[in-house]
Each structure stands twice: as structure tokens, then as C-alpha cells.
Structure 1
Amino acid sequence: MSEADGQQSTIDNGTMTAIAAPRYGFSEVLRTEVVPRPVAGDGEVLVRVRAAAVCSGDVHLLTGKPYAIRLGFGLRRPKYRIIGHDLAGDVVAIGAGATGFACGEVVFGAVDSGAFAEYVSVPVERLAHSPVGLTVEEAAALPDSGMTALQGLRDVGGLRAGQTVLINGASGGVGTSAVQIAKALGAEVTAVCSTRHVETLRSLGADRVIDYTTADFTRDEHRYDVLLDLVGNRSLTACRRVLAPKGVLVSSAGAPGGNWFGPVVWVAKVVLTGLVVSQTMRPLLMRPRQADLEFLAGLAVDGKLHPVIERRYPLAEAAAAVGHVLEGHAQGKTVIVV
């Protein structure tokens, strides 16, 4: 049977292969299942997934930590059995009221869940046409990390051409995107990472790279207009030392805070501190937007943004892919090839 025949058979019999999480836990709870294939609902298109990327949201929903997220995603077991947010693939069906896409087109985007499967239904506002010049694997690596970096720098941080920005945690998926996006916005970029990532970040365009194993960026003599903190491993007081008097600290929700409330306490500290200091302190919560996906696609087409992929795994080894991300310190993105 040819690959095309196999795909048609999957469509005809109404089932598909997917990676399911029947309970909360780590990568070992994931299992491969044959499940009903979704249909394109109102305002949705059905995408045959060709690649999916592992992001931090997948890890949080799999582990159910911080426990507070279970209030919205299932108290005792995951509300959504099939995990996965970021994807790229082919449009194979179009639901009522869905416009802007046609069957056969290659698209990329982000869903609430369900990307680690052969098919997934996606609201059209969560999709964009895949950038010309990128593989489907590279396109799948863009949505979550790219939109987080873009919104953190441009929208929350207000980064403009000629300004200086420091990115703490620059070697991960968001960080490697942030370095390139900041350069595309015309900023001077300082990246913070460990020794093994230094040359990669230089190759991505970072003007300066601080190796945190040998230097503390909060003791740096430079002052920055924007500090994008993707780690939360330094106090707000220490971070403020390297901010310009009217600088902006943008803190992602990845800062530590325990198993119960996770980054909630940290976010509260960021907001409250911002009320009493001259510098601006803002938390970052990414919201998927089609306009941002299209902006990222434009940067990719212009050669200003190229996703960094460290490892690729077949769908059957999705648990290993998630396990790799759970270990921490991954460079760029980890992608699942479907």
C-alpha cells in the first residue's frame, strides 16, 4: 500500500493514530491509541498533521502542575486526552463558515490540544499559511515560541529599533526566536545562556552573549531598555540593576513557584513591584493570534527568522520527545514528525 493509499484509508475508516495521556504524570504515561478522527466544525479546518512541536504548555498539561491548572483542565485526569499545541500540515477538509484556506494548502498554527495525532481540527483564526522556504517541521516549531517571543518583545516590552534588549534563557525555543525577532525589530541583543549554546546564539545574530556559568548578567555593566526574562532565576531587585531607568522587564510565566500555584506568586510580585518603581514590570501571557502567525511567516520568508530544531522524533516516539523537553536545557525546539 502506498503512503497516499494509507492516508486515504485513515480518512475512510474514520480513525487515526494519536498520543494520549489517560492520567497526569510524566512522559511514561503517554500511550499510542487509535481514536476517532475529528471533523471540521464551524469555523474550523481539518488538518492532516505532518509535524508537531513540543512546548512548555504540553508539559504543564501533561503533569498537571502547577495543580491550580487542574481547575480548568481536569481535576483528576486531563480534560483533553490527546496532547500537543503546535503543528503544521495539510488542509484536508473545511467546516461551515471557515474561510481563508483551501484543501491541499500547507498551514501552521496552534491549538488548545490534539496536535500529537494524525489529524486535528483547528479554528481558522489559529492558523496561517506555512512560510515558503521552511519545511513543515520548521513551520511546526514556530507558533508557540514565536508568538511568545514576538508578543513579549514588541507588544509587552515595546521594543523599538535602536534599543537594547537582554534575553535571559536565550537558548530555548522562545529564546532562540526572541534573539532573531529582536534583531529583526532593529534592537541590539544580549543573550544569556550556558556554554554549549554560545556559538549557536552568536550565529543567530546576538550582538553579545553572556555565559551564565562564568558570569552573572545582573552584575553586567550594561543597561538595557528591555529585559525579557524567560527563566525567573534572578530576583526582581537583581534584574532591575541592569534595566535602564525607564526600562521594561517582561517576565514569562515560567518562573518557579512550587507545585500548587507555580508562577502565580511570581507574577503577583512582578505586578506589585511595577506599581512602586520607576521601571516597568510586566508579566507575559501569550495569546494565539493569526496576525502574529502571519507576521512570523513574513519574517521567515524574508530570512530573518529560522526555527532552531535540536531533535526530531517519529510520532510513535512522542513520549521520548516529551521526556527530552522535561529534562530541561534543550536547545531550540523538539519536533515530532507525523
Structure 2
Amino acid sequence: MEIPTLFFMYTPIETDMSFYGYTDPVSSRGAGNMDELKMRAGEKIGALHEAARTAAGSSRSRVEDVVNHTVEALNKIREAFNEIWHHELIEEGRERIAAWTRDAAQRIREGTPPLSPVLLYEELVALLKDRVWRRSVVIFLCGVALGGGAGLCVGLRWAARAPAGPHARALLAQPDQGVMLVEDAVAAAAGAGEVLVRVQAFSVCPWDRATLRGRAAALRGLAAAAQPQLGRAFAGVILDVGCGVSELELGDEVWGCLSEWAGGAAAELLTIRSTRVSKRPRGLAADAAASLPFSGALALQALDRLRYDNYKGKRVIVCGAASGEGCALVQLLSGRGAHVSVLAPRRARQALHDLGAHELVELDSNSHATPSWAMLPQLGARAGPWDAVLACAGAAAPAGNLAPARGALKATAARNAVVDLRPNPLITDRLPLPLSIMFAASFYTLRILRWMVGCGRDTDFLEDKRRLTPGLAALAAMVDDGTLRPVLDKVYFPQDFESALAHACSDEALGTTVIRFP
């Protein structure tokens, strides 16, 4: 008998051990940690929420306290004012003033002067008969005497204090268009973005005479607080460097220039923004270096305004070429291939020819006629028209408007081919009072907006780029490679400033006149 074979299939059965009271220690530990983490997080969030509510409530209560205190103070001030206003003495005074006003109006209608000496005397006698008013008048006069005396003493004491800062010599302009040499002028220390320069020499030119006569006075009062107004270009050595200045160091030999509204360089110690100076050319003495920055910057500005890409074959006439900017223009134009004609005194012919001038033009005039720009088209008809006319503040250049000079240009000349480099009055110097107030408000608003957007509080935005550090560095590079060289006329000392300015503005000047501090 065969015994049947039984096959058994084993199937695992999942059993819930918790039914028998068994718990997995690993899973229970994880669940406990998670619950604890949730509990702690909830406590933290609750604490933060409570802190935020407390802070908000505290800030709100502080604001409410400030508002309540302000309202209370205003109420007290109003009560005090009402109490004073309704005081019997004030009311009596108001009544007397009203009566006097009515009486004065009646006297005016009747044709009698209301402020006759007799009436004034009677009013004073009637006023001082009252003991209360007499005592008030005495107290008032004593208060005026004590307050005025105390204010006068404080003012004299403050004026007697010696200003802080290093002392140096400076040429200060006076209201009567004079110039005074001061031995103890104060120089401010170098602030953020500024440098303190020991000025060795500075230049004078016709622009200084125009400054003494009021050019840029309105704009200078808004843009600069510097008292020296003379000296357009300077050369010196850095004595101190303010924070934020990294490209300059103590002992660097620098040069720079200042526009009429930015002050002046006629001071032995000059505090100036580092954006207005650069290292001067290597091996250039201070006298020669001071003669070039302003005139060279003017010459480069004139070329920028002409906007010619190629000067080869261009005929350009430089009027007043004996000036500093005229000499610089002759060198730059001849170096770029232009045919340069110069309008200058005959005695300057050889010097200008050495600088690169091709022909000297002389205005035909006699003792009864003054040279004018109307004569220039006649010269252009004989010698040939020009592509550009440049007017500098030098000798032999006619005065007046340049409009007639356009007749000396070629028919193909550009609209901006007539460039005036003379120190003519600015628009801001001729504004009437209402427009001057509007201009001042707009100027200060612009400066505040620039400060708010992070552009700083400086006035470099008023300057041409040729007078700032990049333009001065490019000028120094031209001197280093021989493209441009300074033309130094005469050197004076500060005490001879009047003679120096007179020579710089005369027909004898050739180049730039410089004043040197000994």
C-alpha cells in the first residue's frame, strides 16, 4: 500500500505583535523624538509670536506716548499763549494800539501826518504815567541791554578765536576787485576724497581778471565755499591724503586746474578733491607745469567742440594765438596735420612759427579804426577761407561778438566751426532776482538728489572732463611723448600779483604768466 506524499506550502503570516503587548523599541524611539521635536518647535514658534506681539505693542505704546506728550505740550503752549494774550496788560496795549491806529487813519483822511513829534511825545507821556507800563518798559530795556551785551561779548570772543588748521600765504580777492596777500590764511585738513597740496606755483590769465569782475560769482557762491578765487592752474606736492584716495600718495608731484566756480589755487596750502589733480609730467619743473593744465584743457575742449576726425589739409585760424591756450592749440593742430594760421602781434611771429604755425595774419587797421571780426572775412577772401575759427583771449584778437567771423569760413564748414574760448559772462551772472532764486533752489535740489542716489556731494558734474583727473592725465601723456610742451612767459612772486595780472592781460604776453611761492 502506497503512502501518499503530502506537500505543504509555507506562507509567512504577518502578525500584529502589538496585539500581544509587544512594541518595537526602534520605531517607538523615532516617534518619541519626532513628537518631542514638534513640541519644541511649537514652543519656539509660540515664544517668537509672543515676542513679536510684545514688541509691536511696545512700539505702538511708545508712539502713542510720543503723540500724547506732543499733544499735551501743544495744548500747554496754546494755554500759555491764550493766558498771555488775554492778560490785562496785553489787552490794554491792544486797545491802545487799535485806538492809535484808528486815530492815525482819521488823521490821514484829514490830511494831518499821524506821526508828528507832538503826538508821539504826548503818547509817550501818557504811556509812562502808568506805573505798570513804566515798569514794563524798564524791564524791556534792561533785557535788551543785557541780551545785546551778552551777544556782543560772545560774538567778540568767538571772533577772537584763532581758526584751527595750518596757516599759509594766500591771495584773497576783495569786494572792490582788489587782491590782498594774507600771511596767515587757514587751510582745511584733507577730508574724505581730498588731498592737501603744497602749491609751488600757479598761473594767472585773463580769466582771473574776469573772475575779479564778477564772472561766475553766482555759481561760485553755490558750488564752492573756498575764499581764494584766483589762480586757474597750479603745480605742487601732496602733503596729506584723505581717506578713500588710493591713486595718490604723500610726496607725489601733481598738477591741476580749477574753474572760476570751484575757487582758486592762489594759496600756498590748497585742499582739493583728488578728482581735480593728477601726477604731473616727469622732469617738468613747477613753474612750467603750472602754466599748462588750464590752457591745455581749454585747447583740448576746443578740439572736442570742433569734432573733426581728421585735420590733415584743414585750414584753421587761431585768433589771439599768443595766449596760453593759443600756443597749445597751435601745437596740437600742427601736430595733427592742419594748416594753422595765427592772428597775433608781429613780434610773436617767430615763437609761433617754432610752435608749428604756418602763416601770420594781421588785421588791416589804422589809428581811427578798431580791429573787428568784420575784417576777418576780407582776409579770408584774400588768403583763402578757413575750415574753423578759434578765438582765444590773447593779444590782437578783436573784441565783441564772433558772428561776423562766420563769413571767413568755407561753405562746407560745420555749424560749430567757430569756437569762442574767451571768458564771456555766464548766464547765471545775468539772471534777475526771481530767476536767481529759482536757479539756486534747483541747484541745491539737484545736489540733494545726487547725494540720495549715491553720486556724492561734489560738484564735479559741472566740470568738463578735460579739467578732471582723466583729462589731466591725458595732458601729461602728451607732454611726456613730446606732442605738447608748455610755453612759460614770466614768473612773478605773490606780492607782485597786480603786475603779473597786468602783464598776462597785455599785448606783451606770450604764453602763460606764472606766480611762484618762494
- TM interval, shorter chain, is 0.7 to 0.9
Deviation string, structure 1 residues 236-275 (Cα, Å, up to 9, x no partner):
4532222122321112243599xx85xxxxxxxxxxxxxx
Q: Pick one of 220, 227, 238 that aligns with 1:91.
A: 238
Q: Pick one of 229, 254, 259 that aligns with 2:391.
A: 229
| More relative contact order, 1 or 2 (CA 8 Å, 6+ apart) | 1
What is the rounded CA distance, in whole Å, between the counterparts of 1:204 and 1:145 in structure 2? 15
Matched ranges for 1:26-105 at <5 A: 28-65=178-215, 69-73=216-220, 80-82=226-228, 83-105=230-252
Matched ranges for 1:158-307 at <5 A: 158-159=307-308, 160-162=310-312, 163-212=314-363, 216-219=375-378, 220=380, 221-230=383-392, 231=397, 233=399, 236=402, 238-247=404-413, 248-254=417-423, 261=430, 288-307=467-486
Distance 1:207 1:326, change over 3 A: closer
Query: How much has 1:164 moved relative to structure 2?
Result: 2.4
Query: How much has 1:286 moved relative to structure 2?
Result: 5.4
Structure possessing the higher radius of gyration over alpha carbons: 2
Q: Which has the higher helix share?
A: 2
Distance 1:99 1:140, change over 3 A: same
Give the secondary structure class of the aligned counterpart of 1:244.
coil
Query: How much has 1:169 moved relative to structure 2?
Result: 0.9
What is the rounded CA distance, in whole Å, between the counterparts of 1:72 and 1:328 in structure 2? 30
Deviation string, structure 1 residues 270-323 (Cα, Å, up to 9, x no partner):
xxxxxxxxxxxxxxx955232221222122112221221211012232232223
Q: Which has the higher strand share?
A: 1
> RMSD over aligned Cα, in angstroms?
2.8
**TM-score, L = length of structure 2:** 0.52
Structure 2 unaligned blocks of 5 or more: 1-163, 366-370, 431-462
2:419 is matched by which residue type in structure 1? V
What is the rounded CA distance, in whole Å, between the counterparts of 1:41 and 1:57 in structure 2? 29
Matched-pair contact (CA < 8 Å) for 2:391–2:422: no
Query: How much has 1:56 moved relative to structure 2?
Result: 3.2
Give the secondary structure class of the aligned counterpart of 1:241.
helix
Deviation string, structure 1 residues 108-151 (Cα, Å, up to 9, x no partner):
10132241121101212211211124211111111111111111
**TM-score, L = length of structure 1:** 0.78
What is the rounded CA distance, in whole Å, between the counterparts of 1:322 and 1:80 in structure 2? 21
2:253 is matched by which residue type in structure 1? V
- Give the aligned length: 295
1:301 is matched by which residue type in structure 2? D
Distance 1:200 1:256, change over 3 A: farther
Structure 1 unaligned blocks of 5 or more: 1-11, 262-284
1:209 is matched by which residue type in structure 2? L
234-243 or 48-57, which moves further after superposition?
A: 234-243
What is the rounded CA distance, in whole Å, between the counterparts of 1:292 and 1:222 in structure 2? 34
Query: How much has 1:156 moved relative to structure 2?
Result: 0.2
Of all paired residues, the percent bearing the same amino acid is 29
Deviation string, structure 1 residues 18-64 (Cα, Å, up to 9, x no partner):
11123241xx4333331112211221111111110013332222222
